[in-house]
Amino acid sequence: MTVQARYRAATKSDLQRIKSFLGENGLPELGVDEWVDNFVIAEDQNGSLLGVAGLELYEKSGLLRSVAVAQRFRGQGYGRILIESVTGTAKARGVKRLYLLTDDAGAYFERLGFQVVDRKDVDEAVKVSVEFTEVCETAAVMRRVIS
């Protein structure tokens, strides 16, 4: 299904539906409360969520998280646009290295410029994220250097 998506920064009033959306798409909601202001959302013409992507900030490191597109809208570039939007925000905020954790979407993120890195090579600042410490302890870590 193709629609003219509207992209915008999330606000606290979007929190509950972002959490529900992440749950529906198999992603954890832990930590979203703290970072919701750094989320970008895509809505369809009725204002329903069709995609989200979030950013946690740790000095010069960022963590791209909660990238999800509703099943029926997948494969049409919405995910890529959400990720580029978050990457632009990260860059504007002085982030030099953008990380993410993923169980099974590594090939997707490789196409967007991310590379797998060893956990020991991850910036210490970003390791405090609950995504690292509590949620995705076994997930692959990927990094994209932002210039």
Residue from 31, 54, 62, 79 in contact with ligand COA (CB under 6 A) = 79
Shortest Å, Cβ 77 to ligand COA: 4
Tell me which H or E stretch contains 88.
helix 78-92
95 binds ligand COA (CB under 6 A): no
80 binds ligand COA (CB under 6 A): yes
What is the torsional sign of CA 42, 43, 44, 48?
Answer: positive
Which of 28-36, 62-70, 85-93, 117-125 is the region at the interface with ligand COA (rule: CB under 6 A)?
62-70
Shortest Å, Cβ 110 to ligand COA: 8
47 binds ligand COA (CB under 6 A): no
| Of the candidates 126, 103, 8, 137, the residue with the CA atom closest to the CA atom of residue 56 | 126
Which residues, 6+ apart, have CB-to-CB distance to 26 below 8 Å? 68
78 binds ligand COA (CB under 6 A): yes
Contact 81, 87 (CB under 8 A): no
C-alpha 129/C-alpha 147 separation (Å) is 23
Site residues for ligand COA per CB under 6 A: 25-27, 67-69, 74-80, 102, 104-105, 107-108
